[in-house]
Amino acid sequence: MTPLLKAWSLYARWTARYPAVRSIVPFIPLVALWAIVAESELFPRAFFPGPLDVVRSFGTLVYKGILPDYLEDSIVRLAVGTAAGIALGIPLGVLVGLSPRAHALLWPILLFFQAIGDIAWLPILLIWFGFSLTTMTIVIVYTVLFPVVLNTALGVRSVPLELHRAAQSLGASRARIVWEVVLPGALPNIMTGLRNGLGYGWRALIAAEIIVGTSGIGFLMFDARRAGSVVEILLGMIVLGLLWYIVDGWVLAPIERATGERWGLVTR
Amino acid sequence: MKRLVLRDLSKTYFDPYAGAHVTAVQEVSLEVQQGEFVSIVGPSGCGKTTLLNMIAGFIPASGGEILLDGRAVDGPGPERGVVFQSFALFPWKTVLDNVAFGPKIRGLSKAECERIAREYLALAGLAHAADRYPNELSGGMQQRVGVVRALANNPDVLLMDEPFASVDAQTRMTLQEELTRIWQERRPTIIFITHDVGEAVFLANRVVVLSKGRILKEIAVPLPRPRAWDLLTEDAAFKALSGQVLQLVRSA
């Protein structure tokens, strides 16, 4: 009993000092299980490599400079696509959320095009723009756009009428109300849209990279398939998961903590 | 003198459930002088909130007119400050920024906005809470912020819509006493909507009893100030006035 207790108190102390530990610990049994299955040679090694093989391959690919290059390509594509998606999506969402006329006009169109999944656009985009960066960017923008627009509109409509009235009777103009009341009030929903959009965008990017295929993490994985390198495919998958973890932990969650949660709009 | 004049003010709207037109406010005429404190009291459904929303400019009148300083009211404006029952503070602004919002919209410098906000926060005993967010405050403190946020904009009329209805009874009495103190210090024109007869009499110079969208009676309240619940609860004049208003409200 004592060693268990000791381990627990150690864990408690470490998570208190380094919160990051908390997000690493759950993976320990997972990785251990993976290692055990791999070491047991239940499956041929080439089909089911262990964690160490993946780490080794990580080292090699970083050393050769392939992984950093591809990673950069993927991240830049996602960042550019997301930025464009946000720049288009938030104003559109505010418009649809505020104006009943714009809502009546645009909502059916938005729903229609939302249903045509990002990847469903690839065939026609490939004909129009070929295997190019344009194709990939359009797919990502498209994917990010809808969750952002729909959630922004929802957030705009959820701002209580009283807050509009309070701002009006303090002398605020319409434009001022959008900036000071509507946008901050809709921010928790906008963040949800962004979170979904980024998640979908990330997936769409991998799919686009597999099909368009010149560089990037998706290309890395698909290329590895051609070479029959399960290690590299696994590595690609792990990189995807880790990257999302980083985006969530270093970008999205801090914004949410500093805004909606701080303001009491979202309960933790 | 900036007078507020309501002339034959009416509001009818279509009730889709009843399938008929409903009259919420019917030919209400009222004059409020600058610096006056008027309570409008009545049972729920008497049209008092509709009346206030029209004065605030949130909803258009169906008939009659509202004149402030001789000018017709058309839509909301900063010369008519509003205090809401739900407080309606901006959750994403600190207490200081909430109070500074009006001056900021008027285009005053940052330093000037902050000076005004701090002055009014001190008036409400909230200097220590300047950097907190509204959700970190109690209901009573939030409504103090709501009151000074409206006052800091220096409105000609302060419209208060059952502002103390959603705080506990003890806090409510404190807030009422504070409001009378602030009124005595600054002399804003106040129209105060409530269903609480004691509150209406305690606060105002004049109580207007509203019933079924019409003014039933106006009653002057010549009680001396400063007013405090300790003194007034057993005061014969206060009891007589409250009794009179209560009877009117109940007969309504």
Q: Rounded to an integer, what is the distance from CA B243 to the centroid of its chain?
A: 23
Q: B121 to chain A nearest CA, in Å? A: 17
Residue-averaged pLDDT of chain B? 93
List the single residue in A168, A185, A259 with the smallest CB-CB distance to B76.
A168
State how far the Cα of A86 lies from the Cα of A110, in Å rounded to an integer: 15
pLDDT tens column, B43-77? 988 899 999 999 999 999 999 999 999 999 999 99
State how far the Cα of B167 lies from the Cα of A2, in Å rounded to an integer: 53
Mean pLDDT of B108-118: 96
Pairing state between β B157-161 and B4-15: unpaired
Tokens of B101: 């919002």
Mean pLDDT of A80-99: 94
Contacts of B136 (CB under 8 A, 6+ apart): A264
Q: Which residues of B touch A259 (CB under 8 A)?
A: 92
pLDDT surpassing 80 at residue B252:
no
Q: Which residues of A touch B57 (CB under 8 A)?
A: 168-169
Judge: A170–B84 Cβ closer than 8 Å, yes or no: no
Contacts of B44 (CB under 8 A, 6+ apart): B195
How many angstroms separate the Cα of A233 from the Cα of each of A47, A59, A74, A240?
11, 15, 16, 11
Which chain B residue is nearest to residue A182, measuring alpha carbons?
B90
List the domain boundaries for chain B.
1-79+188-252
- Classified by CATH at the fold level, domain B1-79+188-252 comes out as Rossmann fold (3.40.50)
Contacts of B80 (CB under 8 A, 6+ apart): A169, B55, B56, B57, B68, B73, B155, B156, B157, B159
Residue A211's identity, in one-letter code, is: I
Judge: B133–A180 Cβ closer than 8 Å, yes or no: no
Would you place residue A252 in the very low, low, confident or very high pLDDT band (cuts 50, 70, 90)? confident
Tokens of A113: 């095009």
Burial of B185 (0-12, 13-18, 19+ CB in 10 A): exposed
How many CB atoms are closer than 10 A to CB B235?
14
Which of A109-118, B160-169, B194-203 has the least mean pLDDT?
A: A109-118
Q: Exposed e or buried b for every residue in A19-56, given b needs 16+ CB within 10 A?
A: eeeeeeeeeeeeeeebeeebeeeeeeeeebbbbebbee
Q: Which residue has the higher pLDDT, B14 or B202?
A: B202
- Which residues of B sit within 8 Å Cβ distance of A? 56-58, 75-78, 80-82, 84, 86, 88-92, 101-102, 105-106, 133-136, 149-150, 153, 159
Would you place residue A118 in the very low, low, confident or very high pLDDT band (cuts 50, 70, 90)? confident
List the single residue in A169, A185, A264 with the smallest CB-CB distance to B81.
A169
pLDDT tens column, A210-241? 888 788 888 989 988 888 888 889 999 998 88
State how far the Cα of A177 lies from the Cα of A179, in Å rounded to an integer: 5
The pLDDT assigned to A12 comes to 81
pLDDT tens column, B15-28? 888 888 889 999 99
Which of A36-40, A100-104, A164-168, B68-72 has the least mean pLDDT?
A: A36-40
How many CB atoms are closer than 10 A to CB A196?
17
Q: Which residues of A touch B56 (CB under 8 A)?
A: 165, 169
Q: Is the ipTM of this complex over 0.85?
A: yes
The pLDDT assigned to B188 comes to 93
Q: Which residue has the higher pLDDT, A206 or B158?
A: B158
Mean pLDDT of B193-220: 95
Would you place residue A1 in the very low, low, confident or very high pLDDT band (cuts 50, 70, 90)? low
The pLDDT assigned to A227 comes to 86
Contacts of B6 (CB under 8 A, 6+ apart): B28, B29, B30, B31, B55, B64, B65, B66
Which of A24-33, B45-54, B74-83 has the least mean pLDDT?
A: A24-33
> Is the omega angle on the peptide bond into residue B226 within 30 degrees of 0, that is, cis?
yes
Mean pLDDT of B109-138: 94
Judge: B105–A172 Cβ closer than 8 Å, yes or no: yes
Question: Which contacts of B216-225 are long-range, i.e. CB under 8 A and separated by 24 or more positions?
Answer: B216/B42, B216/B248, B216/B252, B217/B248, B219/B244, B219/B245, B219/B248, B225/B180, B225/B184
The pLDDT assigned to B1 comes to 67
B70's enclosing H/E stretch is none
Judge: B84–A172 Cβ closer than 8 Å, yes or no: no
pLDDT surpassing 60 at residue A103:
yes
Which chain B residue is nearest to residue A259, measuring alpha carbons?
B92
Which overall architecture, per CATH, does domain A70-227 show? Orthogonal Bundle (1.10)
Q: Which residues of B touch A266 (CB under 8 A)?
A: none
Tokens of A21: 């530990």
CB pairs under 8 A between A and B: 74
pLDDT surpassing 60 at residue A268:
no
State how far the Cα of A17 lies from the Cα of A6, in Å rounded to an integer: 17
The pLDDT assigned to B68 comes to 94
Mean pLDDT of B177-190: 93
Judge: B102–A263 Cβ closer than 8 Å, yes or no: no
Which of A214-218, B169-173, B242-246 has the least mean pLDDT?
A: A214-218
Judge: A170–B133 Cβ closer than 8 Å, yes or no: no
Q: Which residue has the higher pLDDT, A177 or A123?
A: A177
The pLDDT assigned to A153 comes to 95
| Residue of A170, A182, A189, A263 to mutate when probing chain B, most B C-beta within 10 A | A170
Contacts of A103 (CB under 8 A, 6+ apart): A96, A97, A153
